[in-house]
Amino acid sequence: MTAKEMMFHLSETFHEKVLLEAASDKRLYVRVQPEDLCEVVRYVYKEKKGRLSTATGIDTREGIEVMYHFSFNGFPLITSIRVTTPKHMPELDSVQDILKGAYWIEREIHEFLGVFFKGHPKLKRLLKARNIPENIYPLRKDFDLEKFKENRGDA
């Protein structure tokens, strides 16, 4: 399946809920609203047999952007579902109950960017060093390494 065919299927199913942009034949970027995220993820995983390769969290000017990259067995397409959540209160629905593959990556985004995933069973520290406090998010653009070192006392 090419990006065009996937665009057709998605716009047939979700109409104006999805904003589609095909970067090439193999790469499709889909922007959705936070409330439609689970619905679109469920469709791509169950109906289109997508495999959640990973999710990327990015701190942008508009807010924290999370992208779910779906791969497919048998053809080269990657469908990335893009969703933005406000920086002052980043909160998304967890897709962990749809597919367990999101179990670790949601924990990772939670600890490095501070996105709270509603419904995740164990949103605990996974990778971040023990000496970094829970409320400090190293991948945010306002993370100040020098200041952090000073506070920790090893500058």
Partner 1 sequence: MSTVIPIGPFHPLQDEPANFLLTVEGEKVVDIEANMGYIHKGHELLGQSKTYDQVVVQTERICGICSVSHTVCFSHAVEDLLGIQVPKRAAYIRTILGELERCHSHLLWAGLAGHFLGYNTVFMWAWKYREPVLDILEALTGNRRTASIMKAGGVRRDLDEDHFPRVLEVMSTLRTQVKMLLDAVIDDPVIHSRTKNVGVLTHEDATDWCVVGPTARASGVDTDIRRDEPYGAYEDVNWKVIVWKDGDVFAKVAVRLLEIIESTKIIEQCVKQFPKGPILNEVKHIPVGEGIGRYEAPRGENIHYVRSNGTNMPERWKVRAPSSVNVPSFHASCIGESISDVTITLASCDPCYSCTERMAAVVSPDSKKILYSSADLVRMGQEKTRAIARELGRPPELPLKLDL
- Per CB under 8 A, 2 contacts partner 1: no
Among residues 9 and 132, whose Cβ is nearest to partner 1? 132
Minimum Å gap between C-beta 15 and partner 1 is 25
Q: Which of 34, 39, 54, 148 lies at the binding interface for partner 1 (CB under 8 A)?
A: 54
CA-to-CA distance for 46 and 13, rounded, in angstroms? Answer: 14
Candidates 4-12, 34-42, 87-95, 101-109 — which segment interacts with partner 1 by CB under 8 A?
A: 101-109
Using CB under 8 A, which residues numbered 67 to 96 contact partner 1?
67, 69, 71-76, 78, 80
CA-to-CA distance for 141 and 121, rounded, in angstroms? Answer: 28
Tokens of residue 27, six digits: 């790469």
Among residues 40 and 52, whose Cβ is nearest to partner 1? 52
Residues 52-90: b if buried by 16+ CB within 10 A, e if exposed: beebebebeeebbbbbbbbebeeeebbbbbbbbbebeeb
Longest CA pairwise span in the chain (Å): 57
Binding site for partner 1 (CB under 8 A): 23-24, 26-27, 29, 51-54, 56, 58, 67, 69, 71-76, 78, 80, 99-101, 103-105, 125-130, 138-139
